[in-house]
Amino acid sequence: MSGQVEVQVEGQVEPQDRRPSLAVWKFASCDGCQLTLLNCEEELLALATRVDIAYFPEATRAVVEGPYDLSLVEGSVTTPHDAERILEVRRQSRRLVTIGACATAGGIQALRNFADVAEFTAAVYAHPDYIRTLSTSTPISAHVKVDFELRGCPIDRGQLLEVLAAALQNRKPRISAESVCVECKRRGNPCVLVADGTPCLGPVTHAGCGALCPSYRRGCYGCFGPADTTNASSLSGRLVDLGMPGRDVVRVFRTFNAAAPPFATESTRQEAGP
């Protein structure tokens, strides 16, 4: 996307010489991924000279009407209203990028997908009958076409800037599809799984954090969700060999990306038992 390109939304041709417009939307989420954008600080000022920040309630009350050239969507769909609103966001967006584990995999709130949501609302709210919620938390891609998914809980600042730069240059983002193990080896870290017997999800987790936890001799928690090719059942076998009870193996896969298919399949398999 560039200020010089022809921008077409819903068959409408926009003026050629203008800054592309950016909209940032929130669904069910903690706002942490939007904060990653605000935390860009120096780059944010440069970005503001290249794009028109048209809709970003977390940052400003000023609203420019759509359609928008690029929409960043944070959060998952958890209510009937969300399910309708995302359709309208898609209609208003030339390019739609989802940011974070909530938007790309349903987030921590997708733990409801494995339980009875009525039990949860009864435990939390004095009047659960006032709550209108869905029985599942689903990623944005389950509802509308998504042009790119940026993983992480929260997303990585450098990867977000790459996504924005790619949109401005009308190209695909250069985001590695490797596992955390590759990042870990590149940093020269000793493997905590091999050397210390510490459970680590690095072999099945998408790169993006720079192997942050293993760099501090902690196992990977899987914040960036499943890597493109995973062998979660093999890793489970190793965790069990290390002495981890099956119940805890289930929990390992049910964190930030519990509903991401490879993690959900493996946790469900472990829950069913041998």
- Of the two residues 5 and 40, which places its CB atom closer to ligand SF4 in the complex? 40
Angle subtended by helix axes 232-241 and 261-272, to nearest 10: 50
Q: Which two tokens stand for residue 263?
A: 């993690």
By the rule CB under 6 A, 255 interacts with ligand SF4? no
- Cis peptide leading into residue 274 (ω within 30°): no
Helix ranges restricted to H, the chain: 32-38, 42-50, 80-91, 101-105, 117-124, 157-168, 180-186, 192-195, 212-215, 232-241, 246-253, 261-272
Candidates 23, 24, 74, 97: give the one binding ligand SF4 (CB under 6 A): 74
By the rule CB under 6 A, 160 interacts with ligand SF4? no
- Of the two residues 66 and 199, which places its CB atom closer to ligand SF4 in the complex? 199
Candidates 73, 211, 250, 252: give the one binding ligand SF4 (CB under 6 A): 211
Candidates 20, 66, 107, 262: give the one binding ligand SF4 (CB under 6 A): 107
Q: Pick the stretch among 62-70, 96-104, 113-121, 265-273 that binds ligand SF4 (CB under 6 A).
A: 96-104
User: In Å, what is the CA distance from 48 to each residue of 42, 64, 97?
Assistant: 10, 14, 18
Least spacing, CB of residue 101 vs ligand SF4, in Å: 4
Q: x-or-dash pattern for ligand SF4, window 216-235, by CB under 6 A? A: ----x---------------
Q: x-or-dash pattern for ligand SF4, window 169-208, by CB under 6 A? A: -----------xx--xx---x-xxx------x-xx-----
Q: How far is CA 32 from the centre of its chain?
A: 11
Looking up tokens 């076409």, which residue turns up?
A: 145
Which amino acid does the sequence have at 151? Answer: R
Instruction: Give contact residues for ligand SF4 (rule: CB under 6 A).
Output: 29-30, 32-33, 74, 100-102, 107, 153-154, 180-181, 184-185, 189, 191-193, 200, 202-203, 211, 214, 220
